[in-house]
Amino acid sequence: MNERDTTSLDRQMRRVEELVETLEELGNPVARATAQELLKTLLALHRSGLERMLEILSSTVDGAATAATLGRDPLVGNLLLLHGLHPVDVETRVRQALEQVRPMVRGYGGELELVAIAQNRARIRLLGSCSLSAEALEHAVEEAFLTVAPDVHVIEVEDPARPPVGLMPLPLVR
């Protein structure tokens, strides 16, 4: 996905959020309920179609690899996440996010360790004498998670060598 496509996707996602907010603010309760039912029905239809596509893929020789490739695509991966159908489990995707950040952290004398994943939260520990600032570490980790595991809503970074970095809330995938 190129930069233009990413910008278009971001714009479309913002528009969807605006429209959902508008629906929630409708003064007419019948119109609001009808619009919400329409949205839920369309999402259910899309989920069924995507689920069936993944079933068909899994029955082919290279289906698992193709499904994993689809999961790495920013648009398709996020659609699969939206419907709870991502072909790669969350722990694997969290580990992939950490692998993206590790070279930079190692360059500053540190190491990252996955401590736990539960209920859309990941806890990681910074080891060693990392000279990277807490803000730079937070930014790098957040960017990696947004790319690979956006369904992880909270990342806790433990650093025994300095005061707690704290929680980094990430946007919810809706």
Summarised one tens digit per residue, pLDDT across range 64-88 is 888 888 888 878 888 888 888 888 8
Instruction: Check residues 5 and 110 and name the one with the higher pLDDT.
Output: 110
For residue 153, being part of any structural domain is answered with yes
User: Which pLDDT score, from 0 to 100, does residue 135 have?
Assistant: 87
Closest of 136, 114, 117, 125 to residue 161, by C-alpha = 125
H-assigned helices in 25-124: 29-58, 63-72, 74-82, 90-107
Give, for 115, the enclosing helix (H) or strand (E). Answer: strand 110-118
The one-character DSSP state at 172 is: P
For residue 174, being part of any structural domain is answered with no
Q: Which residues fall within 8 angstroms of residue 3, CB to CB, at 6 or more apart?
A: none
- Let me know whether 62 and 24 are in one domain: yes
- Let me know whether 107 and 154 are in one domain: yes
Tell whether the torsion through CA atoms of 67, 69, 71 and 77 is positive or negative. Answer: negative
Instruction: Report how far apart the first and last C-alpha atoms of the chain are (Å, whole number).
Output: 21
Closest of 89, 92, 87, 110 to residue 157, by C-alpha = 110
pLDDT at 131 over 80: yes
- Let me know whether 60 and 119 are in one domain: no
Structural domain harbouring 133: 90-169
| Whether the model pTM is above 0.85 | no
Which domain CATH number covers 136?
Answer: 3.30.300.130
Question: Which of 82, 105, 121 corresponds to the end of one domain?
Answer: 82
pLDDT at 101 over 90: yes
